[in-house]
């Protein structure tokens, strides 16, 4: 909520039309600079495109915009500067409220004088009640996360930036090698929620043994400027929307506005951060000694051993801008919390007495295989050749070394157990000492480049063309293979492979009016993507088996999409269509899959119900084609099996939203927003892992097939509730998501495991229980802004209900899988202070009460970090 100056804007009765669970602070939009390329055209179309290019909502009375022509808008500008150009020589005002642009007529409706004072056209201060206005454009159901919010919620993992937003889950974040794997409303993995960064897609399919698979995206969160999240299938045209049945995540890396002070053309940014509650492990090169790593029982809370550093510089003028940034991050193994440990102690009834089974990690002890080191480099350029032609180039390099482990190695050696020494002898572990497997760090090297060309001819509202070409390449050396012959313990899981993605897209936006009355925007486009997974050259000498762990295949897809947006006086209609196909080639098994084209259809309607209440409804019928990982064969635990053919997933989903805003509730100029969402997602033929009978007639009766297969359905209905209050000094929000009657169905798996065909826990021998979220989750944020918004401080409370897995659902696999995860909570504190325009500092304490808790997506009892203090300093030069 921190802003560089005080604002007293009163929220209008219609500033509810956001469709957002949270929205970006005004200060974030004020500092942000966007590259606008808008032709001279009608004011309604011009404002529409302005809001879209700035990722904002637009609220206006369409009647006051009729018959007005707006001048062209070109170059890098703030939202305020762009609005000043658009509204010049009109009697219309614009007010920026949170993430919305609100348009209204001034008192002098007949004025035609030139507007030279920015504040006369773009107002930051309301002095009267705003009249009822009508929605012309609502961008959609999006959540925007700003740099301020990321600093507020930053923990030891890059995925922590998503931890304070309801309906967004990060898969097993403490054991994902620092990568992102995001789910939305229980839908996750294999392209269901793609993450694209600066116009390129980078995700790597990763085998996690009996923990299933991950869809990893590698990036240092310190280089992220903003994150836009859309829940559910998108109603907007997008080159990345095919298969995104859960939602989309769009990230923008640092831009000049994040680095430069106001009025600067050249400047630099230095950002320093340090943490306690972690320690870098000293890992032996000997795989035998790695099996018996001595775990530290506790850690001194005053030791701030590691941290991060960002160095960035930027330059901009009217035609050209550039950003160069470097980030270095180092985090050791963290230490677990202490309070609540007893909730994870299992009491078992024996023949003669009861006994207790304790989690491998003791209260306050070191959590092995959680350290992380990375270096990242960023270079971005934008050049406006003419008023009609713009080119943007983004490049990023990320290299890291991170700990991770397989679930079957999550165990502890303690007093009375024996450990093997490098010379082959054995010794007993003494009292007071505990040991767990600690492997050397796996590595990832990722290179990404994208080029975006924008052509917008002057005085032609029918052409707004964007062409995007991108490529990402990842080289990985990690411990998630099977049957490697490089050595014992961790070395038998060594996995060296490469993942390459390339893409091309071109789409055009046309703005016009139907019957001279209805403002309409039509988007049409085409997208092509290619993905390859390849084992390291010479893999034949490093595996015992016929197939290596790595897939060796290629997947190509084509997508033709179209979107129509019709804006009536008080109603907006969106119709989105996407026709897409997929071809998969398996070079190892010499198989091919051709999945015929399927048509996705999404319809969204937004309507002003009464003066302060907005409603919207969205329906989607969409398909997700099998991923390259699901359609190819390897020696990994779960693989494609020709005996179990796979088909595309079919998704039907709908969502209803209602949002109301009230002003002057407790204090003058305060506002209260109520948002309620009802959602229902049904995935038919859902692809997931399963333990299936082996159909080879020569197979032994005990042999099984661990494969991807189509479940009958996975249904995720639920509700989201969000309350938001803001005043001059105080703000508060509370959100809740409640999944109701979650149901997973499979005739095939029910027959094998003797379970009900449809149940709420998943099936034995599969990893489906991990996909099911806890029934309820809550998030509460209470804070205050003081000293002209220079100080921002507050608390964040997060809680989830308990969760159960089927008893013994991974029996006979060597995994001590969690069957019950107790309810848990976490309380965080943050403080952010801006000393001046050049210097600011921040501090946060995550898990303030030092709770011993486990992520609801975890398969084993791997606790979250205990109380952790983060201190940071940001300097602009």
* DSSP-assigned letters across all residues of 74-137: EEEEEHHHHHHHHTTTSSEEEEEETTEEEEEE-S-TT------SHHHHEES---SPPPP---SB
Q: Does the pLDDT at position 787 exceed 60?
A: yes
**Last residue within a domain, chosen from 90, 112, 139:** 139
Check whether residue 151 and residue 119 sit in a common domain.
no
Structure tokens at 712: 């009958």
User: Does a structural domain hold residue 12?
Assistant: no
Task: Decide if 875 contacts 838 (C-beta within 8 A).
Answer: yes
Question: CATH number, domain at 463?
Answer: 2.40.170.20
Q: Is the same domain home to 104 and 168?
A: no
Structural domain includes residue 15? no
Q: Is residue 20, in this structure, part of any structural domain at all?
A: no
Asked if 533 and 497 count as a contact pair (C-beta separation under 8 A), the reply is yes
Percent of the chain whose predicted confidence (pLDDT) is above 90 = 49
List the one residue out of 673, 563, 615, 654 whose CA is nearest residue 135: 615
Total domains in the chain come to 2
- Structural domain for 640, as ranges: 144-876
Among the listed residues 688, 836, 663, 662, the one whose alpha carbon sits nearest the alpha carbon of residue 768: 688
DSSP assignment of 489-549 equals GGGGGEEEEEEEEEEEEEEEEEEEEETTTEEEEEEEEEEEEEEEEEEPTTGGGSBSSSS-S
What is the Cα–Cα distance from 267 to 222, expressed in whole angstroms?
Answer: 18
Do the strands 465-479 and 494-514 form a parallel or antiparallel pair, or are they unpaired?
A: antiparallel
- In this prediction the pTM is 0.84
In angstroms, rounded to a whole number, what is the distance separating the alpha carbons of residues 237 and 679?
Answer: 21
Any idea how long the chain is? 877
Residue 387: count other Cβ atoms within 10 Å of its Cβ: 16
Tens digits of per-residue pLDDT, 374-402? 999 999 999 999 888 999 999 999 999 99
Q: Is residue 115 domain-shared with residue 154, that is, in the same domain?
A: no
Q: Is residue 3 part of a domain?
A: no
**Position 13 pLDDT exceeds 50:** no
Alpha-carbon Rg for the chain in angstroms: 27
Which pLDDT score, from 0 to 100, does residue 58 have? 75
Question: Which of 130-139, 199-208, 705-714 shows the lowest mean pLDDT across its residues?
Answer: 130-139
Q: Which two tokens stand for residue 802?
A: 């308990």
Confidence (pLDDT) at 343: 94
Res 729 pLDDT > 90: yes
**Same domain membership, residue 328 and residue 352:** yes
End-to-end CA distance of the chain: 23
What does the pLDDT read at residue 49?
A: 78
Do 94 and 134 fall into the same domain? yes
Asked if 479 and 388 sit in the same domain, the reply is yes
Do 105 and 152 share a domain, yes or no? Answer: no
Q: Do the Cβ atoms of 336 and 866 come closer than 8 Å? A: yes
Domain membership flag for residue 4: no
Q: Which residue has the tokens 């090297």?
A: 445
Q: Which position has the higher pLDDT, 810 or 86?
A: 86
Domain-ending residue, one of 94, 121, 139 = 139
Cα–Cα dist 586/739, whole Å: 38
Distance CA 685, CA 683 (A): 7
Does 125 share its domain with 241?
A: no
The mean of the pLDDT values for the chain is 84
Express each pLDDT in 272-324 by its tens digit.
Answer: 999 999 999 999 999 889 999 999 999 998 999 899 999 999 999 989 999 99
Q: Is residue 791 part of a domain?
A: yes
Strands (E) located in 125-194 = 142-145, 168-170, 182-184, 187-188
pLDDT at 536: 85
Verify that 124 and 200 share a domain, yes or no: no
In a domain, 626, yes or no: yes
Q: For residue 118, give the CATH number of its domain.
A: 3.55.50.30
Looking at the structure, do residues 238 and 130 belong to the same domain, yes or no?
no
Closest CA to 439 of 335, 368, 334, 542: 368
Q: Is residue 18 part of a domain?
A: no
Any bridge partners for residue 875, and if so which? 270, 839
Confidence of residue 445 (pLDDT cuts 50, 70, 90): very high
Confidence of residue 3 (pLDDT cuts 50, 70, 90): very low
Q: Which of 139, 170, 191 is the last residue of a domain?
A: 139
Residue keyed to tokens 């979107």: 563
What are the percentages of helix, strand and coil residues in the chain, rounded to 5? 10, 50, 40
Q: Lowest mean pLDDT of 6-10, 352-356, 533-537, 613-617, name the range.
A: 6-10
Do 108 and 178 lie in a common domain?
no
State the pLDDT confidence band at 205, using cuts at 50, 70 and 90: confident
Do 294 and 394 lie in a common domain?
yes
> Are 648 and 623 in contact, with CB atoms under 8 Å apart?
yes
């Amino acid at each position: 909520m921190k802003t560089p100056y005080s604002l007293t804007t009163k929220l209008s009765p219609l500033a509810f039309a956001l469709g957002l669970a949270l929205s970006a602070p005004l200060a974030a939009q004020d500092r942000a600079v966007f590259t606008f390329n808008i032709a001279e055209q009608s004011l309604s179309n011009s404002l529409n495109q302005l809001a879209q290019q700035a990722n904002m909502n637009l609220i206006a009375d369409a009647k006051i915009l009729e018959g007005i022509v707006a001048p062209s808008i070109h170059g890098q500008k703030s939202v305020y500067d762009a609005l000043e150009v658009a509204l010049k020589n009109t009697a219309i005002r614009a007010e920026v409220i949170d993430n919305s642009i609100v348009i209204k007529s001034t008192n002098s409706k007949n004025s035609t004088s030139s507007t030279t004072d920015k504040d006369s056209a773009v107002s930051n201060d309301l002095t009267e009640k705003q009249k009822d206005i009508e929605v012309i454009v609502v961008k959609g159901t999006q959540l925007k996360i700003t740099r301020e919010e990321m600093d507020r919620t930053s923990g030891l993992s890059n995925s922590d930036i998503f931890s304070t937003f309801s309906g967004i889950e990060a898969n097993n974040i403490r054991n994902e090698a620092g990568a992102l794997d995001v789910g939305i409303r229980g839908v996750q993995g294999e392209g269901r929620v793609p993450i694209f960064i600066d116009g390129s897609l980078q995700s790597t399919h990763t085998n996690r043994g009996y923990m299933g698979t991950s869809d990893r995206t590698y990036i240092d969160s310190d280089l992220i400027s903003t994150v836009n999240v859309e829940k559910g299938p998108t109603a907007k045209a997008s080159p990345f929307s095919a298969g995104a049945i859960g939602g989309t995540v769009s990230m923008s890396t640092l831009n000049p506005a994040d680095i430069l002070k106001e009025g600067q053309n050249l400047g630099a940014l230095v950002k320093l951060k340090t943490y306690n509650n972690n320690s870098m492990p000293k890992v032996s090169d000997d795989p035998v000694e790695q099996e018996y790593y001595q775990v530290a029982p506790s850690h001194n809370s005053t030791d701030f051993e590691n941290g991060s550093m960002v160095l960035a510089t930027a330059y901009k003028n009217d035609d050209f801008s550039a950003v160069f940034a470097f980030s270095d991050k180092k985090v050791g193994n963290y230490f677990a919390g202490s309070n609540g440990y007893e909730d994870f102690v299992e009491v078992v009834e024996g023949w003669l007495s009861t006994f207790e089974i304790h989690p491998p990690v003791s209260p306050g002890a070191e959590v092995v295989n959680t350290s992380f080191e990375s270096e990242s480099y960023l270079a971005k350029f934008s050049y406006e050749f003419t008023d009609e032609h713009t080119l943007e180039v983004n490049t990023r390099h990320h290299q890291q070394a991170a700990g991770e482990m397989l679930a079957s190695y999550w165990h502890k050696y303690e007093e009375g157990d024996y450990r093997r020494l490098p010379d082959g002898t054995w010794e007993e572990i003494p009292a007071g000492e505990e040991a767990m497997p600690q492997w050397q760090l796996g590595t990832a090297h990722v290179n990404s480049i994208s080029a975006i060309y924008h052509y917008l001819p002057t005085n032609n509202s029918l052409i707004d063309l964007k062409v995007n070409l991108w490529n990402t390449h990842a080289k990985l050396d990690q411990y998630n293979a099977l049957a490697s012959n490089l050595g014992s313990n961790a070395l038998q899981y060594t996995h060296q492979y490469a993942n390459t993605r390339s893409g091309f897209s071109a789409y055009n936006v046309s703005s016009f009016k139907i019957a001279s009355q209805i403002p309409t925007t039509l988007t049409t486009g085409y997208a092509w993507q290619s993905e390859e997974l390849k084992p390291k050259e010479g893999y034949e000498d490093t595996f015992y088996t016929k197939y290596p762990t790595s897939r060796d295949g290629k997947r190509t897809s084509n997508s033709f999409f179209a979107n129509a947006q019709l804006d009536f006086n008080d109603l907006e209609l969106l119709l989105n269509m996407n026709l897409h196909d997929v071809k998969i080639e398996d070079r190892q098994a010499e198989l091919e899959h051709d999945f015929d084209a399927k048509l996705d259809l999404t319809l969204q309607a937004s309507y002003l119900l009464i003066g302060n209440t907005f409603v919207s409804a969205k329906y989607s019928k969409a398909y997700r084609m099998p991923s390259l990982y699901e359609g190819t064969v390897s020696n990994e635990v779960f693989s494609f099996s020709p005996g179990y053919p796979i088909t595309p997933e079919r998704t039907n989903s709908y969502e209803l939203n209602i949002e109301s805003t009230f002003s002057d509730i407790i204090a003058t100029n305060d506002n209260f927003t109520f948002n309620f969402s009802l959602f229902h997602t049904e995935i038919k033929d859902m692809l997931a892992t399963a333990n299936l009978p082996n159909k080879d007639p020569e197979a032994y009766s005990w042999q099984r097939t661990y494969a991807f297969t189509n479940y009958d359905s996975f249904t995720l209905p639920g509700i989201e509730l969000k309350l938001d209050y803001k005043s001059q000094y105080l703000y508060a929000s509370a959100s809740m998501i409640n999944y109701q009657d979650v149901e997973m169905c499979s005739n095939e798996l029910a027959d094998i495991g003797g379970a009900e065909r449809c149940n709420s826990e998943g099936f034995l021998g599969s990893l489906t229980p991990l996909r099911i979220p806890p029934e309820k989750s809550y998030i509460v944020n209470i804070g205050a802004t003081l000293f002209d918004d220079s100080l921002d401080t507050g608390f964040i409370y997060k809680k989830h209900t308990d969760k159960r897995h089927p008893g013994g659902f991974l029996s006979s696999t060597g995994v001590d899988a969690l069957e019950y995860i107790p309810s848990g909570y976490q309380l965080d504190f943050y403080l952010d202070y801006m000393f001046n325009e050049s210097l600011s500092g921040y501090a946060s304490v995550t898990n303030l009460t030092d709770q011993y808790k486990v992520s609801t997506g975890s398969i084993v009892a791997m606790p979250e970090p205990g109380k952790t203090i983060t201190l940071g300093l940001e300097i602009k030069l």
